[in-house]
Amino acid sequence: MKATKKLKFSYQLPEKAPRIDTLLDDLMSVTPEIDPERAVLITESYKENESLPVIKKRAKALEKILKEMNIVIRDNELIVGNQTTKPRSSPIFPEFSNKWLLDEFDTLAERDGDRFLISEKTKETLKEVFDYWDQSTTNELATSLMTQEALEAMDAGVYTVGNYYFNGVGHVCVSYDEVLAEGFNGIIEKAKAAKKELSFGNPDDTPKRHFLDSVIITAEAVIEFAGRFAEEAEKLAEKTSDNKRKKELLEVAKNCRNVPANPASTFHEALQSFWFVQLVLQLESNGHSISPGRFDQYMYPYLKKDLDNNEITLEKAQELLDTLWVKFNDINKVRDQASTDAFGGYPMFQNLIVGGQTPGGQDATNLLSFMCLEATEHTKMPQPSISVRYWDKSPEEFMMKAAETTKEGLGMPAYYNDEVTIPSLTNRGLTLEDARDYCIIGCVEPQKMGKTEGWHDAAFFNMAKVLELALNDGKDPMQDYKQLGPKTGKASSFESFDEVMDAYKNQMEYFVELLIHSDNCVDSAHAERAPLPFLSSMVDDCIDEGKSVQNGGAHYNFTGPQGVGVANVGDSLAAVRKLVFEEKEISIEELENVLANNFDGHEALRQKLLNNAPKFGNDIDEVDELAREGALIYCKEVEKYENPRGGSFQPGLYPVSANVPLGAATGATPEGRLAGTPLADGVSPVGGRDQNGPTAAVNSVAKLDHHIASNGTLLNQKFHPSALEGENGSRNLNALIGSFFDQKGFHIQNNVVSGDVLREAQKNPDNYKNLVVRVAGYSAHFVSLDKSLQDDIISRTEQCF
Amino acid sequence: MFLKGCPLDCPWCSNPESKDKDPQIMFNPNLCIDCKKCIEICPNNAVDFNLRGRIVRDKCNLCMECVDHCYSKALSIEGIEGSVEELLFELNKDRIHYRRSNGGITFSGGEALYQSDFLLELLKGCKANGWHTTIETAGYYPKETLEKIIPWTDLFLYDIKMIDDGKHKKVIGVSNKRILANAKFAAASSADLVVRTPIIPGFNDDKESVSEIAEFALDLKGVKRIDILPYHRLGEDKYYGLGQKYQMKDIESPSNEKMEQIKELIIKKGIDCTIGGVE
């Protein structure tokens, strides 16, 4: 093996330090558990502070958690801060929802994917805690705010707002840069200054004062939290006889004494300060997708300064970075069974993006951009979810480095197109500078860091189900033809294709309106019951406005629900138009009949629908334009509406892994899809239906309007490893990404693994514990996924050049 | 783009559907749903479920009724007729990709030169669009055929399988004299040329055969590289689907080590070499 990898940038990136594998082994040797500590502490705190306004209750609760939770410095760590006592355990957040957990106590350790161990003692403790929260959760308030029609539509699988309905919101990138530069003491000063501006005479200023007090409480709490780690490190240093480790622990202690209270003075301190922010955000609320964003931009000055002054070697810097990468995987979260179906593989979606351009429009790639990709190659773990921003001036060697990382087969990095994202964000009201400075949240959702409450994962909306209802007079064939939507006529009453489209539009209008209503109910419930002072202290303009992000304090406010099933709708519409109305090969009555019976006894007819009508993903305008139209109808409905935080709705087109459960709720569809089977993932073609190679597939996908879907779109490609071999393979991959982006595609991600390997891993999971694959906007350990999701990944078309 | 028709008869060919110049019916058993519509519809009684290739080829008059009624596409037509204009329309769909990859169109087969008049028109169309053109050929044509297309060709991928004419004749059925002479002519032309050699166990995987090919390539003007392609069996099922025999049943693909050894040997001779074109 070569000692270094030579780069054109003239940097030589170091080999992986031995410490990294030791840390990884320790981390992965533990089975995730349920840790009740946080649930107990927040409940005690609420009981102690019943009379306080909710924002202060939240602040006091976080303060108590940070003061009293068990802190651990794990062996060999250089960056410290634990979410739970044991690695990868899940804390519990009873204030959002908890009844599902009670119901699933006995299946958590047994279920197909994302297992968690739970002790009998923990069950007892949690039962007691949950009693306190009965009827007081955000979930229960949201339910009581929603109309019956909305609840029924969700039951039928027309859409789900499950993510924030049951959990915290997360989905944010805070001002890490500000904490690194000013420290929490700086934030306290800012809050104090804002308080001085308030008047006792103005009734509006009272809640502002409580908010600012809460900001100060949480900022002081996190400083004290770091102090506890300093003490612990000093204690351990005293105990150890290993001089090298003693020195390391004293360094850790020194760092924790200075940050995050004060500005970071070294790269190591900057990483430590960053980690406290990243960690405490997860302890405050269980929203996932708390994304580091443009890490290579705000962290680089600290690295550069240390390197320039010979304060650190590149080897040491890479090792520190790698240890942080391990740390990202220590964070975990338990989800209910339904959410686990939609988010399989213990994903935390901590999206970290490198490359792209500066707010001023120059290329932003630097040494740290390369080192971040290298850290992913060294650790080979699902977190952080690493992404690359691509634009016309991205350096060739950077793209070659990204291709190298892609070829590790982890499904990362994901690639994002500046040339689409920036105009799509300015179209939503961002300034040009802010749009150029976008990062990615969670899977594929762009936002300006430190200024945005994007509510990016607001819902998954089943466009294929809407088409199913449009063909059944608004009745749901999966529920004995219960009337769910408006009466728009049965399929057999349609005399032209235009009537099919009209019914689809009418159903869409109705269900999108219900979706908006559901989302806004959940949004209001969070504002009322779970405002987040710590998170808000790092998002503009919360301190200036004196209100939390949940109350509309962010500078930019959005709600982003996702349409799922683009390819199914396009393929279905094309089959109906061609075979029923144009060629009259199949009568509309016959179609209605075979769909109702899930093609039972009509396999030949199903094959005709599958093979004699064009399919999305083959660069055929006739069908691609219907997929575009089907998606546009959804997108245009969504963007009409506003949320309670004073912002607008913006559509996305990606599924996470919700294409599997939403497919399960959808009957047979006219493109030949059987009832209950998964929908197409993201804007990708239906697996196996794109038969004209990768260029045709991306050409089709690029025909969708990616600008209007400004909450993000998602294209999965799967390559056989042999297709990307050698430098040629990297160049071909980059050319494909480039030409997809030239045609105004938004995002592409690539699994590089053969179907044989995946099938083998399904059979012998023990031999493939470390196999990481791309699911949707995130990567996960393949063997931690449940079988239906594994099958869905295997069924994606394997492309070769 | 694969053009149908080939004057050679290499038993290892992985595209048997391209050898014949006319459309053929191919059967893929994995897609068949046993609906038996093909039997029902065939006017010539040319469908037999006991046959591996499903179609009784001497009874079939290619009316394509069975293919049209095979909704699962287990029966398909290999080879479609198209005009130069239609094909250029299809090729044009990927123009944006050619720009990014410095790529273009590769004409292969069968044998790209089999339909040389048609090919010439296609090449002119490509050049009018500014696309890079590559011709994959075994070179078994009169010199004039090459002469005609060279001005419109950027790169030849030129198959050389064997220098010993006796062995060439025995296995492939024709002499290689014209092939080698044309190689010299094409190499000396304005187009670039890469030598391609399929490595067939028991035919040309010995030191002597490989050395001779390397030495021949070294003498070609401006030729910088040989791509060696390991024999593979991916075409086997297609032979059965066309109702044909596969003659290479007992031949295994060469191992990676074997391919590396051959690559070494060629590089030692003083010319660059890749396995499968991977740099």
CA distance A715 to A687: 12
Average pLDDT, chain A: 94
Six token digits for residue A231: 């003490």
**Segment A690-696 mean pLDDT:** 88
Task: Report the range out of A67-71, A719-723, A777-781, B62-66 with the highest average pLDDT.
Answer: A67-71
Its pTM stands at: 0.92
**Which of B71, B72, B96 minimises the CB distance to A739?**
B96
Give the residue on A whose Cα is nearest the Cα of B279: A726
CA count, 13 A, side-chain hemisphere, B214: 23
Residue A534's pLDDT band (cuts 50, 70, 90): very high
Residue A769's pLDDT band (cuts 50, 70, 90): confident
Give the residue on B whose Cα is nearest the Cα of A724: B278
**Segment A159-174 mean pLDDT:** 94
**pLDDT above 50 for A2:** no
CA distance A748 to A560: 19
Are A447 and A454 within 8 A, CB to CB? yes
On chain A, the residues whose CB falls within 8 A of the CB of B277 are 728
Six token digits for residue A189: 């000063």
Residue A1's pLDDT band (cuts 50, 70, 90): very low
Share of chain A above pLDDT 90, in %: 85
Of the candidates B207, B225, B205, B99, which has an alpha carbon nearest to the alpha carbon of residue B157? B225
**pLDDT above 50 for A6:** no
CA distance A598 to A590: 12
Least confident window among A335-349, A445-459, B146-160, B239-253: A335-349
Residue A9: its pLDDT value, please? 67
Please tell me the distance in Å from B72's CA to the nearest CA on chain A.
5
Domain-wise residue ranges, chain B: 24-78, 84-234+251-275
Six token digits for residue B177: 């004299």
Distance, CA of B34 to chain centre: 32
Least confident window among A561-570, A627-636, B53-62: B53-62
- Residue A139, judged by CB atoms within 10 A of its CB (0-12, 13-18, 19+), counts as buried
Three-state secondary structure call for residue B158: strand
* CA angle (B179, B185, B188) in 5-degree steps: 140
CA distance A499 to A493: 9
Give the residue on B whose Cα is nearest the Cα of A725: B278
User: Which are the catalytic amino acids of A?
Assistant: 443, 445
Residue A778: its pLDDT value, please? 75
CA distance A435 to A145: 35
Question: Do the chains contact at A607 and B72, CB–CB below 8 Å?
Answer: yes
Beta strands at A445-448 and A12-13: parallel, antiparallel or unpaired: unpaired
Residue A10's pLDDT band (cuts 50, 70, 90): low
Least confident window among A245-254, A353-362, B252-261: B252-261
Write out the residues of chain A at the interface with chain B, using a CB-CB cutoff of 8 A. Answer: 603-605, 607-608, 610-612, 619, 695-696, 699, 725-729, 731-732, 734-736, 738-739, 742-743
Q: What is the tens place of the pLDDT at every residue in A475-518?
A: 999 999 999 999 999 999 999 999 999 999 999 999 999 999 99
Of the candidates A287, A346, A295, which has an alpha carbon nearest to the alpha carbon of residue A321? A295
**Which of A612, A699, A727 minimises the CB distance to B71?**
A612
Top-confidence residue, A726 or A706 = A706
**Segment A172-199 mean pLDDT:** 98
For residue A260, whether the previous peptide bond is cis, meaning omega lies within 30 degrees of 0, is yes
Question: Do the chains contact at A610 and B103, CB–CB below 8 Å?
Answer: no
Question: Do the chains contact at B278 and A725, CB–CB below 8 Å?
Answer: yes
**Segment A285-302 mean pLDDT:** 96
Residue B279: its pLDDT value, please? 67
Task: Report the range out of A333-342, A668-677, B240-249 with the highest average pLDDT.
Answer: A668-677
CA distance A253 to A237: 9
Residue A5: its pLDDT value, please? 46
Can you say whether the dihedral through the CA atoms of A777, A782, A783, A785 is positive or negative?
Answer: positive
> Could you tell me the CA-to-CA distances from A584 to A471, A573, A672, A708 in Å, in that order?
18, 14, 17, 35
CA distance A22 to A540: 40
**Segment A312-337 mean pLDDT:** 96
Residue in the block written with tokens 């044509």: B141
**Stretches in chain B below the pLDDT threshold 70:** 279
Residue B164: its pLDDT value, please? 96
The domain made up of B24-78 is a member of CATH 3.30.70.20:
yes
CATH architecture assigned to B84-234+251-275: Alpha-Beta Barrel (3.20)
Of the candidates A446, A450, A449, which has an alpha carbon nearest to the alpha carbon of residue A428? A446
Helix/strand/coil (H/E/C) assignment for every residue in A350-362: CEEEEECECCCCC
Are A30 and A86 within 8 A, CB to CB? yes
Residue B14: its pLDDT value, please? 87
From first CA to last CA, the distance across chain A in angstroms is: 29
Domain-wise residue ranges, chain A: 32-144, 145-171+449-682
Top-confidence residue, A313 or B101 = A313
CA distance A357 to A737: 18
Are A555 and A451 within 8 A, CB to CB? yes
Top-confidence residue, A196 or A694 = A196
